[in-house]
Amino acid sequence: MRYSGVRVALAALSALVAACSQTPLKPAPTHLTSADQTHPEGTIPPPVQVTPVLPKPRPALRPETYSVVVSNVRVQELLFALARDAKLQIDIDPSLTGTVTLNAIDQTLPQLLARIARQVDLRYEIDGQNLIVTRDASWLRFSLGSSIAQD
Protein backbone atom coordinates (compact mmCIF):
# COMPACT_ATOMS: atom_id res chain seq x y z
CA MET A 1 0.00 0.00 0.00
CA ARG A 2 2.90 2.23 0.65
CA TYR A 3 4.05 1.97 -2.97
CA SER A 4 0.61 2.76 -4.40
CA GLY A 5 0.78 6.32 -2.97
CA VAL A 6 4.17 6.80 -4.58
CA ARG A 7 2.83 5.48 -7.89
CA VAL A 8 -0.11 7.88 -7.74
CA ALA A 9 2.24 10.80 -7.00
CA LEU A 10 4.54 9.80 -9.89
CA ALA A 11 1.57 9.45 -12.24
CA ALA A 12 0.28 12.89 -11.23
CA LEU A 13 3.74 14.40 -11.65
CA SER A 14 4.21 12.88 -15.12
CA ALA A 15 0.75 14.14 -16.14
CA LEU A 16 1.70 17.65 -15.05
CA VAL A 17 4.99 17.52 -16.96
CA ALA A 18 3.24 16.23 -20.08
CA ALA A 19 0.66 19.02 -19.84
CA CYS A 20 3.44 21.64 -19.86
CA SER A 21 5.16 20.36 -22.99
CA GLN A 22 4.63 22.08 -26.34
CA THR A 23 3.44 20.42 -29.47
CA PRO A 24 5.85 20.74 -32.42
CA LEU A 25 5.14 23.58 -34.82
CA LYS A 26 3.96 22.82 -38.33
CA PRO A 27 6.29 24.21 -41.03
CA ALA A 28 5.01 27.24 -42.91
CA PRO A 29 3.88 26.73 -46.52
CA THR A 30 6.95 28.70 -47.70
CA HIS A 31 9.34 26.44 -45.76
CA LEU A 32 11.95 24.75 -47.98
CA THR A 33 11.94 20.98 -48.07
CA SER A 34 14.16 18.37 -49.69
CA ALA A 35 11.56 18.03 -52.48
CA ASP A 36 12.28 21.65 -53.48
CA GLN A 37 15.86 20.89 -54.58
CA THR A 38 16.43 21.60 -58.26
CA HIS A 39 19.70 19.67 -58.44
CA PRO A 40 20.17 16.03 -57.47
CA GLU A 41 21.87 15.40 -54.14
CA GLY A 42 25.67 15.53 -54.37
CA THR A 43 25.88 17.60 -57.56
CA ILE A 44 27.19 21.14 -57.65
CA PRO A 45 25.07 23.75 -59.45
CA PRO A 46 26.75 25.62 -62.33
CA PRO A 47 28.47 28.91 -61.45
CA VAL A 48 26.74 32.21 -62.09
CA GLN A 49 28.05 33.61 -65.37
CA VAL A 50 26.80 37.20 -65.07
CA THR A 51 28.52 39.20 -62.37
CA PRO A 52 27.28 42.63 -61.35
CA VAL A 53 29.42 45.56 -62.43
CA LEU A 54 30.57 47.51 -59.42
CA PRO A 55 31.04 51.27 -59.68
CA LYS A 56 34.55 52.63 -59.55
CA PRO A 57 35.54 53.60 -56.02
CA ARG A 58 35.51 57.28 -55.24
CA PRO A 59 38.21 58.79 -53.09
CA ALA A 60 36.92 59.67 -49.64
CA LEU A 61 37.03 63.31 -48.73
CA ARG A 62 39.60 64.01 -46.07
CA PRO A 63 37.82 65.54 -43.07
CA GLU A 64 38.78 69.09 -42.24
CA THR A 65 41.24 69.27 -39.36
CA TYR A 66 42.19 72.06 -36.99
CA SER A 67 45.18 72.84 -34.79
CA VAL A 68 44.44 74.48 -31.45
CA VAL A 69 47.00 75.54 -28.85
CA VAL A 70 45.48 77.40 -25.89
CA SER A 71 46.25 77.82 -22.21
CA ASN A 72 43.59 78.76 -19.64
CA VAL A 73 41.14 80.14 -22.23
CA ARG A 74 37.46 80.56 -21.38
CA VAL A 75 35.54 77.69 -22.96
CA GLN A 76 32.96 80.01 -24.55
CA GLU A 77 35.68 81.98 -26.37
CA LEU A 78 37.30 78.77 -27.64
CA LEU A 79 33.97 77.36 -28.86
CA PHE A 80 33.16 80.61 -30.70
CA ALA A 81 36.56 80.52 -32.44
CA LEU A 82 36.13 76.86 -33.42
CA ALA A 83 32.62 77.48 -34.80
CA ARG A 84 33.86 80.48 -36.79
CA ASP A 85 36.71 78.46 -38.33
CA ALA A 86 34.41 75.52 -39.10
CA LYS A 87 31.81 77.89 -40.61
CA LEU A 88 29.10 76.68 -38.21
CA GLN A 89 26.33 78.48 -36.38
CA ILE A 90 26.73 78.05 -32.61
CA ASP A 91 24.39 78.14 -29.63
CA ILE A 92 26.07 78.06 -26.21
CA ASP A 93 24.26 77.55 -22.92
CA PRO A 94 24.90 80.68 -20.80
CA SER A 95 25.45 78.53 -17.70
CA LEU A 96 28.50 76.88 -19.32
CA THR A 97 31.68 78.05 -17.58
CA GLY A 98 35.27 76.94 -17.23
CA THR A 99 38.69 77.25 -18.82
CA VAL A 100 40.49 74.99 -21.25
CA THR A 101 44.15 74.19 -21.79
CA LEU A 102 44.71 72.26 -25.00
CA ASN A 103 47.46 71.37 -27.47
CA ALA A 104 45.79 69.69 -30.43
CA ILE A 105 47.39 69.35 -33.86
CA ASP A 106 45.44 68.33 -36.99
CA GLN A 107 42.28 67.05 -35.30
CA THR A 108 38.72 67.02 -36.55
CA LEU A 109 36.03 69.12 -34.91
CA PRO A 110 34.38 66.13 -33.14
CA GLN A 111 37.79 65.11 -31.75
CA LEU A 112 38.40 68.63 -30.44
CA LEU A 113 34.93 68.88 -28.91
CA ALA A 114 35.38 65.51 -27.17
CA ARG A 115 38.70 66.66 -25.69
CA ILE A 116 37.17 69.94 -24.52
CA ALA A 117 34.23 68.03 -23.00
CA ARG A 118 36.68 66.08 -20.84
CA GLN A 119 37.97 69.33 -19.33
CA VAL A 120 34.68 71.22 -18.97
CA ASP A 121 31.30 69.65 -18.21
CA LEU A 122 29.61 70.14 -21.56
CA ARG A 123 27.50 68.25 -24.03
CA TYR A 124 27.50 69.07 -27.74
CA GLU A 125 25.45 68.20 -30.79
CA ILE A 126 26.18 68.97 -34.43
CA ASP A 127 22.89 69.37 -36.27
CA GLY A 128 23.64 70.20 -39.90
CA GLN A 129 25.32 73.61 -39.83
CA ASN A 130 24.45 74.22 -36.15
CA LEU A 131 26.66 73.43 -33.17
CA ILE A 132 24.64 73.28 -29.96
CA VAL A 133 26.67 73.29 -26.73
CA THR A 134 25.01 72.85 -23.33
CA ARG A 135 26.14 72.21 -19.79
CA ASP A 136 26.31 68.48 -19.10
CA ALA A 137 23.39 67.57 -16.85
CA SER A 138 21.18 64.55 -16.33
CA TRP A 139 18.25 64.28 -18.73
CA LEU A 140 15.02 62.32 -18.64
CA ARG A 141 13.75 61.52 -22.11
CA PHE A 142 10.11 60.64 -22.65
CA SER A 143 8.67 58.65 -25.52
CA LEU A 144 6.94 61.78 -26.86
CA GLY A 145 10.34 63.32 -27.58
CA SER A 146 10.22 65.96 -24.84
CA SER A 147 13.11 66.31 -22.41
CA ILE A 148 13.37 67.61 -18.88
CA ALA A 149 16.70 68.65 -17.37
CA GLN A 150 17.54 67.54 -13.86
CA ASP A 151 20.34 68.86 -11.71
Q: Kindly report, residue by residue over 59-100, the tens digit of the pLDDT.
A: 988 899 999 999 999 999 999 999 999 999 999 999 999 999
Beta bridge partners, 124, equal: 133
Q: Kindly report, residue by residue over 88-135, the tens digit of the pLDDT.
A: 999 999 999 999 999 999 999 999 999 999 999 999 999 999 999 999
Is the pLDDT at 12 greater than 90, yes or no?
A: no
Please state which of the ranges 28-32, 104-108, 114-118, 145-149 shows the lowest mean pLDDT. 145-149
Q: Are strands 122-127 and 130-135 parallel, antiparallel or unpaired?
A: antiparallel
What was the pLDDT predicted at 22? 73
Per DSSP, the three-state class of 123 is strand
Residue 120 is classified by DSSP as: S
Task: Give dist(CA 78, CA 72) in Å, integer.
Answer: 10
Torsion 65-69-72-76 (CA) sign: negative
What was the pLDDT predicted at 147? 53
What was the pLDDT predicted at 145? 52
What was the pLDDT predicted at 32? 74
Q: How far is CA 74 from the centre of its chain?
A: 33
Is the pLDDT at 150 greater than 60, yes or no?
A: no
